[in-house]
Copies of this chain bind each other. A is one copy, B any other.
Amino acid sequence: MHIDQLETPVATVDLDRLERNIARLQAHLDRHGIANRPHIKTHKIPQIARMQIEHGAVGITCQKLGEAEVMVSAGIHDIFVPYNIVGEPKLARLVALARRCRISVTADDEIVVHGLSAAMEQAGLTLPVLVECDTGLERCGVQTPAAAAQLARLIANAPGLHFGGLMTYPSSERANTFVRETRALLAAAQLPLERVSGGSTHCMWQAQDFPEINEHRAGEYVYGDRHALQSGAMTLDDLAFKVTVTVVSQPTENRRIIDGGSKTFSSDLGTAPGHGLILEYPEAIIYSQSEEHGHVDFSACSHKPLIGERLTVIPNHCCTVTNLFNQIVGIRNEQVEVTWPVACRGLIQ
């Protein structure tokens, strides 16, 4: 089937570009001796995760246990869940995962470490736990190298746990400095620091500039989006993920309505105006959205589309868009080659 025969709105991935994006980042990180551990939250599709592993990734990153459970069942054997796993039900699921694959997690607080330790000791397992470090993004994470070293010692001494290294996001000069200072404190405590996990798509081509960080987690790089374009990490020719929509209304001279809104594109914004980039009309602005309608201003465009015309949209943020679709259509040479269920979407965390 030709891509133009697909009903809209439809999310497609250009398979040639997908494969090229996967191969290129792998080659770049290989060249610099940095382990590649891509984040599957972007695609949530086991088939793409397997492609990433086949290209040389050391394993994958999942953001929640539900994703990891799907990926283990799909044959992925090395999974990092950079998340504080808290509470009995989730610890029981983590134990079950640890029996099925090599899994590692993060912690940023002794309460979390105690929970992990009790669960793993009781199960007779040893879990690698990385210390999450807040190096400027103000999300989770210990606040200082001293706190990181202290928590690392707690993990190293906790039954059922193994100190697995440090984790932060994104890789940056500030992160590099934080890790260097923590490494010195750990050396003084005879605690070796092997794995340091950083990441982001935006800085992926500069990963080698942060020598303290030896593992890279990138997610969006497989698909690309307007964020990646704006950051300079990817060009228009790299973008593999697109949403095709149809103009369904032309109420005024300059206003057009497309059949994709906040339940297609999410409401994530970026630095560029509007809810996505329309490739055929780059000057057009998707200025607002209803749930199933996008409202577009074509006043800056000399030619304006009419009802029935199909448009190709690069979303602001591909990760939250794939999460809204039950399936993604793989395209090669404008023909449908494969349809992948977004297997990890909507799962229990």
A interface residue numbers (CB < 8 A to B): 7-10, 41, 63-64, 83-84, 86-87, 89-90, 108-109, 111-112, 134, 138-143, 246, 248-252, 255, 257, 259-260, 262-264, 266-269, 290-293, 295, 306-308, 319-320, 323-326, 345-349
In the complex, A320 Cα to B109 Cα: how many Å? 33
Quick check: A140 and B248 within 8 Å, CB to CB?
yes
A110 to chain B, nearest CB (A): 10
| In the complex, chain B residues whose CB is within 8 Å of the CB of A295 | 138-139
In the complex, A273 Cα to B38 Cα: how many Å? 34
In the complex, A87 Cα to B244 Cα: how many Å? 14
A80 to chain B, nearest CB (A): 14
* Number of identical monomers bound together in the oligomeric complex: 2
| In the complex, chain B residues whose CB is within 8 Å of the CB of A140 | 248-249, 251, 257, 293
The 9 closest A-B pairs by CB, nearest first: A326-B346, A267-B267, A140-B249, A84-B248, A111-B307, A63-B292, A7-B89, A267-B268, A140-B257
Determine which of B64, B90, B142, B266 lies in contact with A267 in the assembled complex, contact meaning CB atoms within 8 Å. B266
In the complex, A266 Cα to B291 Cα: how many Å? 12
Quick check: B262 and A320 within 8 Å, CB to CB?
yes
Interchain residue pairs with CB less than 8 A apart (13): A7-B87, A7-B349, A9-B349, A86-B246, A108-B251, A262-B266, A262-B268, A263-B320, A267-B268, A292-B349, A323-B324, A324-B346, A345-B346
